[in-house]
Amino acid sequence: MAHSIAKATLGLTRPNKIEHPKISFVAKEIDLLEWKGDILAVGTTETDVVKDENSKFKNLILQKLDSQLGGLLSEASSEEDFTGKAGQSTVLRLPNLGLKRVCLIGLGSAASATAAYRSLGEAVAAAAKSARASNVAIILASSAELTTESKQSLASAIVTGSVLGTYEDNRFKSESKKGTLKAVEILGLGTGPEMVKKLKNAEYVCSGIIYGKELVNAPANVLTPGVLAEEAKRIASEHSDVLSATILDVEQCEELKKGSYLGVAAASANPPHFIHLCYRPPGGEVKTKLALVGKGLTFDSGGYNIKTGPGCLIEHMKFDMAGSAAVLGAAKALGQIKPAGVEVHFIVAACENMISGTGMRPGDIVTASNGKTIEVNNTDAEGRLTLADALVYACNQGAEKIVDLATLTRACVVALGPSIAGVFTPSDDLANEVLAASEVSGEKLWRMPLEESYWEFMKSGVADIVNTGSHQGGSITAALFLKQFVDEKVQWMHIDMSGPVRNDKKKTATGFGISTLVAWILKNSS
């Protein structure tokens, strides 16, 4: 996928235009001993690598492969203490056999979760990168008892892991190495039109995830609200058969009385852009109307409540538009998948939260587009102010179900840590739908309480509400604030993704939320 962020605005920085390697994915049913290439990777559980009294594998596939290799596989696994645990791997180099390497990769005790097979794909990508391999094959040691649907889902997860494991965001580096992996063959999990469709859809979702990562990784001097709007229009133009774009400027937002959103944007030299993409299915018939709303703060200084002191993470505040990246990444994927029967609105109130003489001050009162007045007791609680007007707009589009995503509170990170997003909704049905979608995607969500008694903290003496309550239960009161801007007839969910938006070890964006959103929309489509 070619990077496409439009332009830089400060510091002469321009992202390099990098063509990511195109990898072909094919599902095949052939004898594994007939396969020739750079790496044959075998996904194994702890049960698969159990040996008999003669130190030979009991698993038939490993037994067959080991026999072909003269016992080298069982010998190497014993010497390296390979037990099939998640994260383990062992590699055999095999010259002059037409098969250069065999790699055993551990899946854990009884792998069934999507995440285990995504990790398998990532491990294969890492092995291919290390060996400068161009073609690999992947097979599971145990797959005979799986259903056809399960095989297709696991193959999809492996493809996702392989693509994302191969990808590196080198746009802002002066030098970068090109990947060598060209082809991945998945053996023993079936073939046919449904498998082809499943693998192709996985590639489409990956293109959306990579796009979302690139948006979040782009610094604020490159990705301004205006550039984000240009990116949204680019997505719509690339998939104009199903997507259309509407971008509202300041004057149009004033006409719609979006005072809460405009109050946040008032201090920045970069004007706000309200983004609305609409997906309509190619067949025309619409059974369900959905909306995705993403927080779009391309930079958050905190405003007059400026982020200061250790742990304030102001240097990471380019990540404060990760909700919008999830929404636009999902739009890009859906523009390629083209599901039937569902209309989807993708909404982002893009802006910066800066400091200037025209900026919003603590104590100011702003008026949202549904008429509610908000006393701003903290300018660093700005995301909810932008989302308020975006949620009102989403309801006005006739959406029956709305999911919003935001890096909204540090309180949610304290509660759930760096890898789990918090889910808040009054609707059990919507909770079940989205949590089921997260099982398909392998992303981690946890439903949190929406404790109505905490609303007492959000009452103002001079306006309808304040924008922050007690320090205790901060992610809950933030969700209760958003709830005030959603029509009671609409099923609504808020996802606080502050933790899993960034991989601290790799120091890069994760693309979190995109695969779950796509899975949820596809379920509503079917």
Active site residues: 307, 384
H/E run at residue 415: helix 410-416
Q: How many CB atoms lie within 10 A of CB 177?
A: 9
The length of the chain, given as a count of residues: 526
Question: 99 — phi, psi (to 5°)?
Answer: -135, 110
DSSP-derived letter for residue 388 is H
Q: Indicate if the alpha-carbon torsion angle 225, 226, 231, 236 is positive or negative.
A: positive
Three-state DSSP state, 364: coil
Distances (CA, A) of 342 to 206, 291, 334, 400, 401: 21, 10, 11, 11, 11
- Is 449 exposed, middle or buried (CB count within 10 Å of its CB: 0-12, 13-18, 19+)? exposed
- Torsion-angle region of residue 443: left (phi > 0), alpha (psi -120 to 50) or beta? beta
C-alpha dihedral, 345 to 217 to 412 to 393, nearest 10°: -20
Which token pair is 328?
């636009």
Query: What span, in angstroms and rounded, lies between the C-alpha atoms of 237 and 244?
Result: 8
Find tokens 């405009």 and name the residue. Answer: 262
Query: What span, in angstroms and rounded, lies between the C-alpha atoms of 121 and 30?
Result: 20
Three-state DSSP state, 268: coil
